[in-house]
């Protein structure tokens, strides 16, 4: 299995430079939505902040646990194509440390973790 253009791996902030221009999935906690609803900040699982740029202004309240699917535009910013929000309760129960560990392992042993895309035999 290889990481090709169609895979959209889960990442944290530190991994963004490796995926410049590529599609990723970034899970973290949202804060600081600007007044126009165009930008907000996401704190990734490695506790670093990433600037998220919305294509369409946000029409819902965004806070707590949020998953951003989008394209990496710089080493700390993302253009969002699709947003997944979670409930208050889910945000509370989420174990960030465990998720961070998972990200570390999947990238350290990337050949062992299938993250979508075309399977090669």
Is residue 105 part of the contact set for other proteins (CB under 8 A)? yes
How far apart are CB 13 and other proteins at their closest, in Å?
Answer: 21
Cross-strand partners of 67 = 27, 84
Torsion of CA 18, 23, 28, 34, to 10 degrees: 110
DSSP-derived letter for residue 6 is: T
Question: Binding string, 37-76, against other proteins, x = CB under 8 A?
Answer: ----------------------------------------
Residues 6+ apart with CB under 8 A from 47: none
Is residue 89 part of the contact set for other proteins (CB under 8 A)? no
Q: Which is nearer to other proteins, 36 or 98 (CB)?
A: 98
């Amino acid at each position: 299995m290889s990481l090709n253009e169609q895979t959209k791996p889960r990442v944290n902030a530190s991994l963004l430079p490796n995926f410049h221009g590529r599609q990723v999935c970034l899970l973290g906690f949202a804060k600081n939505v600007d007044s126009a609803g165009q930008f907000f900040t996401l704190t990734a699982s490695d506790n670093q902040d990433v600037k998220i740029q919305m294509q369409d202004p946000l029409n819902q309240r965004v806070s707590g646990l949020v998953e951003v699917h989008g394209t990496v535009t710089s080493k700390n910013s993302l253009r969002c194509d699709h947003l997944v929000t979670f409930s208050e309760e889910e945000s509370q129960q989420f174990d960030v440390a465990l998720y961070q560990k998972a990200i570390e392992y999947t990238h350290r042993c990337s050949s062992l973790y299938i993250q979508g895309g075309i399977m090669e035999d």
